[in-house]
């Protein structure tokens, strides 16, 4: 079996002969325990799980934010741990080998384990959420070198699927050099709430800022610009809500375009997509593609979707769904009463049973609260909410994807995610131009 030996660690689809095998969770916990008393800066201490988990996937590289010596130290720690586990104390071990046995990090239990194959391209996954960009880009042969996500519940889901803890607040990391490799794609769905219709409406009602004036989320686009200056990726692949075009009378979108074209010097392309021919929901997204050196074809345009909108029936469970997803009598009556009043007033939401032969409406992060956006008819019974697995299918996640174990978090995370097939569709066309 062909293996790749880098920095003392062998990575392969299965353990090479003679390798010392250690589970990736064991390896992470062991290194974190080893460094528990080390006097790191606050930033290193906060990001150590991300640093170590990234290093375990790419041990040929220096640990992010740290020196080569730490990688060498961690290889020794893992080797010593494996030898003791196999042979007991040092006095009971067989004679020392001339060549130390390689360490094999076992990622086999993961839904999306690291691959041995040489990647076709390398990318950074910013505002990573639960990995929609990562799945789409890895399906095309890409390798993720860096991920970041500030929400702790989303980090947990990301780790459970990819074995990697994303780094945290990108505002603290965007100005420094994190990795020395060339980046082919810098990808990110920068937070959409400050620009979405619902988000703007909610912020106006609270008297809060929205768009770029929202300091927590609205200004994160400029961290993309800072990181693009640092790494000069061949392609920027960015996603946001369709309302990004219209926010602040179009001035927000013009600022984004000017920053990418004038500040970075990239060739800018954009398109608005309704994803309902790729997934069974009407989900309108703005996708931006920008090329550092321009596309190979000077007449290139953003690809267009085609086909028939997919019906909601395509993603529904084929067997009986647990009764806990059926909404209560009180909630159903409340939905019907408010819907009737809102129709009479001409404003507000409506909550009806959905036509299963049409796409679902846009899945939103608040869906976990009462399910009003997409209620599934059940004949004589009250309608039910979508299950977590149905929400995963609605966003195009593969069957092996593991949702967050808490229902509310799973619903919020799928509602905030990008449709995976849309990323794969656009990225495949963009990659042909570099």
Q: List b or e across 399-427, with b for residues whose CB sees 16 or more CB atoms inside 10 angstroms.
A: eebebbeeeebbbbbbbbbbbbbbbbbbb
DSSP H or E stretch at residue 4: strand 4-6
* Burial (CB count within 10 angstroms: exposed 0-12, middle 13-18, buried 19+), residue 5: middle
Helix axis angle, 152-162 relative to 407-416, nearest 10°?
Answer: 90
DSSP H or E stretch at residue 377: strand 376-378
State the CB neighbour count (10 A cutoff) for residue 197. 12
Question: Distance between CA 432 and CA 421 in Å, rounded?
Answer: 17
Closest C-alpha to 56, from 34, 81, 78, 84: 78
192 catalytic per annotation = yes
* Burial (CB count within 10 angstroms: exposed 0-12, middle 13-18, buried 19+), residue 327: buried
Write down the residue that tokens 């030996």 correspond to.
Answer: 5
The one catalytic residue in 192, 214, 275, 374 is 192
Question: Distance between CA 410 and CA 402 in Å, rounded?
Answer: 10
Active site residues: 192
């Amino acid at each position: 079996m062909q293996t790749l030996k880098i920095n003392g660690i062998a990575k392969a689809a299965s353990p090479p002969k003679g390798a010392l095998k250690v589970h990736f969770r064991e390896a992470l916990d062991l290194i974190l325990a080893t460094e528990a008393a080390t006097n790191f800066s606050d930033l290193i201490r906060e990001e150590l799980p991300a640093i170590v988990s990234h290093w375990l996937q790419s041990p040929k590289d220096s640990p992010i934010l740290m020196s080569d010596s730490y990688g060498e130290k961690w290889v020794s720690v893992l080797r010593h741990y494996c030898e003791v586990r196999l042979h007991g104390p040092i006095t009971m071990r067989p004679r020392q080998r001339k060549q130390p046995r390689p360490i094999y990090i076992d990622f086999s239990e993961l839904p999306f384990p690291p691959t041995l194959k040489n990647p076709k391209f390398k990318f950074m996954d910013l505002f990573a959420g639960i990995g929609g960009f990562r799945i789409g880009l890895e399906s095309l042969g890409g390798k993720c070198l860096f991920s970041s996500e500030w929400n702790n519940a989303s980090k947990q889901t990301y780790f459970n699927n990819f074995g990697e803890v994303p780094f945290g607040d990108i505002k603290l990391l965007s100005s420094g050099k994190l990795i020395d490799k060339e980046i082919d794609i810098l990808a990110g769905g920068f937070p959409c709430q400050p620009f979405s219709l619902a988000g703007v409406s909610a912020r106006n009602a609270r008297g809060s800022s929205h768009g770029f004036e929202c300091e927590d989320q609205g200004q994160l686009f400029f961290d993309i610009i800072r990181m693009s200056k640092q790494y000069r990726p061949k392609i920027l692949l960015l996603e946001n809500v369709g309302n990004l075009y219209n926010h602040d009378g179009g001035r927000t979108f013009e600022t984004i375009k000017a920053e990418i074209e004038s500040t970075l010097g990239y060739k800018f392309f954009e398109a608005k997509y309704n994803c309902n021919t790729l997934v069974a929901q009407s989900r309108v997204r703005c996708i931006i593609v920008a090329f550092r050196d321009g596309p190979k074809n000077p007449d290139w345009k953003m690809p267009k979707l085609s086909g028939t909108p997919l019906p909601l029936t395509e993603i529904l469970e084929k067997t009986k769904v647990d009764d806990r997803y059926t909404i209560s009598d009180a909630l159903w009556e409340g939905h019907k009463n408010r819907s009737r009043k809102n129709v009479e007033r001409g404003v507000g939401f409506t909550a009806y049973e959905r036509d299963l032969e049409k796409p679902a409406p846009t899945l939103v992060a608040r869906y976990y609260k009462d399910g009003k956006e997409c209620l599934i008819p059940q004949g004589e019974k009250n309608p039910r909410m979508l299950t977590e697995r149905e929400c995963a299918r609605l966003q195009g996640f593969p069957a092996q994807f593991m949702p967050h174990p808490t229902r509310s978090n799973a619903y919020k995370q799928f509602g905030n995610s990008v449709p995976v097939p849309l990323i794969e569709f656009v990225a495949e066309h963009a990659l042909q131009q570099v």
